[in-house]
Amino acid sequence: MTGIRLTQLSHGGGCGCKIAPSVLQAILSGARDKLPYPELLVGAETSDDAAVYRLNDSQALVATTDFFLPIVDDARDFGRIAATNAISDIYAMGATPIMALAIVGMPVNTLPVETIRDILQGGESVCREAGIPIAGGHSIDAPEPIYGLVVMGLMHPDQIKRNCDAKDGDVLILGKGLGVGILAQAMKKGELDDAGYQALIASTTQLNKVGSQLAALPEVHALTDVTGFGLLGHLLEICRGSQLAAHLDMAQVPVIREAQAWAEKGYGPGAIERNLASFGEDVHTAASVADWQLRVLADAQTSGGLLVAVAPEAADSVLAQFHAAGFGYASVIGRLQQGEAKIHVR
């Protein structure tokens, strides 16, 4: 790395770079109406993770793009995390990825060619794990290092899992522990030990492949992945789309073990405050919920876990699939019920 820290070359990192939910909503206001293309099954109107276009009666094309600034200093790890995060949007729709294109913006007069090559090779290694090629892409000379992917996948049109299709009584299951943004800030300050770094990398490079399996289950009504808006932000998208209230049990929400001590000390990216300001009165917390716990719920997750809304009778089966796939933190965290589209945390 020749002494260059990737995180010092960027104003933010990972999904913490996302525009705040309230600002994004204002930007997109009036642009979320369903477009007059009958084969476009999912567009921007439901705040879903990817667009879906019907090809025929048995196939739909799922397409997404995701890119960001470095969340870690190791070039290969940055590439791995960015690729895992981008592919996750395909799994979050219940699809199977088939191909990717690279998005590359690098300060070519600052970063050595070897470092840029390591970033791309990190992304390629994750795509090999997902069983897809990087078939091309586009690169520019940019003032800050940017890397990500366009990813395409396939699925049956009848198995799409949209944010707006959750049902009254659905159980909520979260696939990964929270705290990625908190660990990343501790790392950026030079205070994170090796165990904490390894926990950060293990979470952010774990592919959410289980999403493709869950798509075939009719009891799974809605799927999304938890990224820059935190658990609260992405759950609110399901609540608003489905016109349901969410009830979370804070004691059941998984937090990455290595992140909790940092969270209790108040660590976390600036995205936490932006997220909380955006949610406003749509989140109600009991007096027993500590400030650090609320901040964890709003922590910007990079390459976070899947959030599943599933009928109660299938919750144990879905949870077992997560555990069998190696998602040790996967937990039931609450449920959805009739009511105003808000989140209640106790």
Structural domains of the chain sorted by starting position, each given as residue range(s) with its CATH number in brackets: 6-158 (3.30.1330.10), 161-345 (3.90.650.10)
The whole-angstrom separation of Cα 307 and Cα 300 is 14
Q: Average model confidence (pLDDT) for the chain?
A: 93
pLDDT of residue 47: 81
The C-alpha angle with vertex 51 and arms to 46 and 53, in degrees rounded to 5, equals 115
Of the listed ranges 30-34, 294-298, 299-303, 314-318, the least confidently predicted one is 30-34
pLDDT of residue 17: 62
Residue 30 pLDDT class (50, 70, 90 cuts): low
Residue 294 pLDDT > 70, yes or no?
yes
Residue 24 pLDDT > 80, yes or no?
no
Candidates 15, 17, 127, 239; catalytic one: 15
* Percent of residues, the chain, with pLDDT higher than 70: 92
**Phi–psi pair at 240, nearest 5 degrees:** -70, -40
The whole-angstrom separation of Cα 175 and Cα 331 is 7
246-256 average pLDDT score: 98
The whole-angstrom separation of Cα 114 and Cα 5 is 14
Residue 100 pLDDT > 60, yes or no?
yes
Contacts 24+ apart (CB under 8 A), 235-238: 235/172, 235/307, 235/343, 236/279, 236/282, 236/283, 236/341, 236/343, 237/47, 237/163, 238/163, 238/164, 238/166, 238/307, 238/309, 238/336
23-41 average pLDDT score: 70
Q: Are 167 and 221 in contact (CB under 8 A)?
A: yes
Residue 154 pLDDT > 50, yes or no?
yes
pLDDT of residue 280: 84
Tell which residue, 276, 134, 127, 304, has the closest CA to residue 211.
304
Of the listed ranges 13-17, 38-42, 56-60, the least confidently predicted one is 13-17
**CA dihedral (154, 241, 304, 151) positive or negative:** positive
pLDDT of residue 1: 41
Q: What letter represents residue 133's amino acid?
A: P
Q: Are 294 and 285 in contact (CB under 8 A)?
A: yes
Residue 12 pLDDT > 80, yes or no?
no
Residue 44 pLDDT class (50, 70, 90 cuts): confident
Other C-beta atoms within 10 Å of 44: how many?
13
**CA dihedral (95, 98, 103, 108) positive or negative:** positive
Q: Which residue has the higher pLDDT, 92 or 17?
A: 92
Q: What is the pTM of this model?
A: 0.92
The whole-angstrom separation of Cα 80 and Cα 170 is 33
204-223 average pLDDT score: 97
Residue 4 pLDDT class (50, 70, 90 cuts): confident
Q: Which residue has the higher pLDDT, 5 or 77?
A: 77
15 is annotated as an active-site residue: yes
Of the listed ranges 18-27, 158-167, 253-262, 317-326, the least confidently predicted one is 18-27
